[in-house]
Structure 1
Amino acid sequence: MTALDALAERVRRELELTAYPRPQWLTSRQHDGEPVVDVLIVGGGQAGLTVAFALKRRAITNTVILESAPAGAEGPWTTYAAMHTLRTPKGLTGPDQGLPALTPESWYRAAHGDDAWEAIQFIPKEHWQDYLVWFRAATEPRMRNDVAVTGIRDAGDGVLEVSHTGGRTFARRVVLATGMAGNGEWSVPPVIRAALPPQRYVHTGAPVDFRRFAGQRVGVLGGGASAFDYGASALEHGAASVDLFYRRAQVPRVNPFRWMEFYAFGAHFPDLPDEDKWKFTVQFARTNQPPPQQTWYRCTRWDTFAWHTAADWSAVRMDGDEIVVRAGADEFRFDAVISGTGPNVDLAARPELRDLAGRVAVWADRFTAPAGWEDNSLLGYPYLGPGFEFTERDRGSAPWLSRVHDFTYGARLSMGLNGNMNSGLGAGGRRLADALSRALFLEDRHRLFASYQDYDVAELVDLGRPADRVGMS
């Protein structure tokens, strides 16, 4: 028996040991002559797998994950992520939902050995993808790959109709687990998009063949870790030079995520008053996070790498075959540009959310920032309920929106650490699974009460005396 075989047996045993209570409490339903799943999860990466397993632990098993990517290629890890390792320290947990045999450490030690685990600080991204593939096999969610969701609408009778490239599926609840761009799209600033033909720039949220940069002068806008990773990858594939531009006056040195990684913050951020949620999120935007140290060295080891602070791009133009960028008081000339500017939040930009977009409440509808804490970039974030559910812009106009739960980057203002961050999978997955369980239980309360009234399984089956009784003296 291999170490991974032994670990799989441990998983099965731990699931048995922690399976109480066991009864399946939900019943199958139909709508329009078709079966209804209790929860449909859009996205089969780390967030979707975490939610499916957390639901399974609550005996909610009539679920399905729809994932647009082929099996084994879910998420960014083997597609567009250009880092060498995760940025979260190796001791992270979350998908496991507290089951020791399912933790990344347990898998890594079984797959690569104790010495290999002790030797690393961060898990290599390809190994993380391997872990997620193994996690899927170990937890056995019902999942369909190569299926893209195209729409979500109210079907009546407490059911949603989810349209997708494989047909349609009816569901009582829908979870969006579509990652960083799950509430919008990767954002290329207008200063780039309006000035350059599409073949002259790329975004860090798109797969790239970095050999395209061989021999080229590359300009990178953005100071996040992905911007550094893409710049380093360009240099490693023969770029003549890379210049990276910060809008900030100084390079961030402190990572606020490390402060956030304690249980209460992840579990109870959603319970904060709105003003506190807003201030935490604005403060994060003001400080941001640095690239990991090894990512910084990955770039600065090259003499042909330079970084520039307080250097936002005010103008971009073509001059013949050269790209001319004005940053501050200076002009720079490049052959190609990388936009490391992250995602925006715009529900209408997502095909599956276009029917919902104008009906969903956003923070601009519910909140006015106190003086000194204004940040217009946050106003379009969805204003979520305590279980990650969408809320109505006009109260009473579309109550079915509460059946759609947002476990993506767009949830961060309402919910804090959540499904698009490794450090948010544990607490976020538990809160979401509990919210779904609560909602389904409350909806089924009348059926459950009738079932309770009809329950007649006797435990006391013999009203006689035991055959081996001892007489009283």
Structure 2
Amino acid sequence: MSAESSNKTGLDALEKRLSEDLSLLELPAKSWVPARQYNGAPVRDVVVIGGGMCGLAATAKLILSGIDNVVAYDAAPAGLEGPWVTFARMETLRSPKTLHGPALGLPQLTFRAWFTAQWGAEAWASLDKIPKNQWMDYLIWYRQVLALPVRNNVRMTGISAAGDLIALDLDGAESSRVYTRHLVLATGRSGLGGFAVPEFLQGVDRSLWSHSADDIDFTALRGKRLAVIGAGASSMDNAAAALESGAGSVDLLIRRKEMPRINKMTGIGSQGVVHGMHLLPDAWKWKFVDYTNTTQTPPPRSSTLRVSRHANARFLLNCGIKTVNEEAGELLIDTTQGPLRYDFLVAATGFTNDFNGRPEFAAIAPHIRTWADGRYTPEMGAPRPGMLASPDLGPGFEFRERISGSCPMLAKIHCFNDAAMLTHGKVSGDIPAVSAGADRLVRGIASALFADDVDTHFASLVAYDIPELLGDEWTDSTPQLQKDNAL
């Protein structure tokens, strides 16, 4: 469905209904957080880093909850936030079209309402999966219709303490230092780290390989021999993009002996999982995540068929990589199936939670408590490195200190991204439960803000003096009662 063929009148009507619903629910709630300054500079209640889906949901929930001194920053230009039209190379989302995503319990804010307002119920019924570019169009509308304060082309370069506040250094369209009481890191799949790069690629010339989340010029690979590592959705999408751009051949190098086929977590998806996972004992959290990581999530059927329909694509199973070396401008890859030669390689190897490699987190990284710092015990199962590196978060997604008292501001920095999954479940990265995640996050921030200002709120209670009764609503009968009793 193109924007040109959409029904502008229908969208206007939807936006009117949304406005009416917000009014009926008295949303946004009235502002209630006392304003603060630091050395004459204004202080934000919350700064959100990231203007993608999670950042938008968090920002919207904060404002709807009456915490309106908020701003979100994103390093990308407007309309390019998140993966949808950048490194996400699938054709459609894998999530069912009916999921309400970041709608925060507001029916008129759902993708379905946005879609049917423009193209009608019949078009909705015939829609299979949501095209990824259309999902981005919906998120752009979401931001606009709620008038969310997102500022683009701004990168956070540093975090430091300023008394009981957090100081953020910004670069780009805004080069300044801003102060905030709470910080939300809605940084998506990359979480707190970045690309996960296998050891066998360390030191290999970057002109010969890319990570699947890089900006890859697939047209430059026309006629080339290409290897793609992995059997997940990202590997399929990148392989398909290369094939469709004219790659000479594409081999998927798959370590497993069989392709994963069953999407386990989707199969047990429920409100119990959404609201109950984060309250489970640690051993159960580890067991769930360890099992799903071990069984692995399969790529979507449509993505796999998108690759296999090309005669010049090969699925090489039980093909583990031993070494990768450059030889005469080519890649010589030694595998468990023997040596293979390629012109280029794409590593669809995911992301890491190792925040020590990110300069903007340098001041806090050494102090962040992870699951390796005592939360994990050997009785839980195998010590998976990626899981051990997950941050040990509090109930409002706040970081915890590795050593008590070493970095107090961590309690006001919230990890609302994929790195939170082991502690909180899948509520801060994927479409299905992002509204529940935003609600949990904002409840935590709201309670912390209220507690920090409790003296001010109590003083407001004492000072409030607008009467509801004016004194003329009744007559005091006590004098007459006393007179009658005296007779």
TM range (shorter): over 0.9
Distance 2:373 2:339 in 1: 41
State the SS of the aligned residue for 1:419.
coil
Q: Which residue of 1 aligns with 2:101?
A: 94
- Structure 2 matches for 1:60-459, cutoff 5 A? 60-156=67-163, 158-165=164-171, 166-194=175-203, 196-366=204-374, 367-370=376-379, 372-459=381-468
1:259 CA drift (Å): 2.8
Show CA shifts across 1:388-435 (max 9, x none). 000000012222211000011111111111222112312111100111
Distance 1:287 1:55 in 2: 37
State the SS of the aligned residue for 1:303.
coil
Supply the AA of the counterpart residue of 2:437: G
Contact in 2 for aligned 1:260/1:266 (Cα 8 Å): no
Show CA shifts across 1:319-377 (max 9, x none). 32321112213121111101000001111222321110001101110222326433122
Show CA shifts across 1:238-273 (max 9, x none). 011111012222111111231353112112222111
1:12 CA drift (Å): 0.6
Distance 2:28 2:217 in 1: 50
Q: Name which of structure 1's ranges 410-419 and 21-30 shifts more when overlaid on structure 2.
A: 21-30
Show CA shifts across 1:91-149 (max 9, x none). 11131100000001101112333232222222111001000000001111212111000
1:465 CA drift (Å): 6.9
Show CA shifts across 1:266-324 (max 9, x none). 12222111111111111111011111110011001111111122212111122323211
Supply the AA of the counterpart residue of 1:240: G
1:201 CA drift (Å): 0.7
Distance 1:279 1:23 in 2: 43
Distance 2:364 2:447 in 1: 23
Distance 1:413 1:26 in 2: 31
Distance 1:375 1:188 in 2: 16
Q: Which residue of 2 aligns with 1:469?
A: none
TM-score by length of 2: 0.92
Which structure has the bigger radius of gyration?
2
Distance 1:445 1:419 in 2: 29
Show CA shifts across 1:191-248 (max 9, x none). 1232x31111111111212111110111011111011000001000001111101222
Aligned partner of 2:45 among 16, 38, 42: 38
Distance 2:303 2:334 in 1: 26
Supply the AA of the counterpart residue of 2:408: P
State the SS of the aligned residue for 1:7.
helix
Q: Which residue of 1 aligns with 2:479?
A: none
RMSD value, Cα: 1.6
Q: Which residue of 2 aligns with 1:470?
A: none
State the SS of the aligned residue for 1:15.
helix
Q: Which residue of 1 aligns with 2:470?
A: 461
Contact in 1 for aligned 2:194/2:353 (Cα 8 Å): yes
Contact in 2 for aligned 1:267/1:428 (Cα 8 Å): no
Distance 1:222 1:20 in 2: 46
Contact in 1 for aligned 2:287/2:381 (Cα 8 Å): no
Distance 1:21 1:328 in 2: 59
Distance 2:407 2:151 in 1: 29
Supply the AA of the counterpart residue of 1:388: F
Q: Which residue of 1 aligns with 2:35?
A: 28
Distance 1:26 1:329 in 2: 63
Between the two proteins, what is the percent identity of the paired residues? 37
Q: Which residue of 2 aligns with 1:471?
A: none
* Cα distance change, pair 371–181 in 1 and its aligned pair in 2 (3 A): closer
Runs of 4+ with >4 A deviation:
none
Contact in 1 for aligned 2:371/2:390 (Cα 8 Å): yes
Number of corresponding residues: 464
State the SS of the aligned residue for 2:67.
coil
* Cα distance change, pair 67–260 in 1 and its aligned pair in 2 (3 A): farther
* Cα distance change, pair 59–382 in 1 and its aligned pair in 2 (3 A): same
Contact in 2 for aligned 1:215/1:239 (Cα 8 Å): yes
Distance 2:358 2:467 in 1: 54
Distance 2:451 2:468 in 1: 28
State the SS of the aligned residue for 1:269.
helix
Q: Which residue of 1 aligns with 2:64?
A: 57
1:457 CA drift (Å): 1.5
Distance 1:21 1:215 in 2: 55
Supply the AA of the counterpart residue of 1:396: G
1:380 CA drift (Å): 1.3
Structure 1 unaligned residues grouped into runs of 5+: 467-473
1:20 CA drift (Å): 6.4
Q: Name which of structure 1's ranges 303-312 and 131-140 shifts more when overlaid on structure 2.
A: 303-312
Distance 1:207 1:256 in 2: 31
Structure 2 unaligned residues grouped into runs of 5+: 1-7, 476-487
Distance 1:414 1:44 in 2: 23
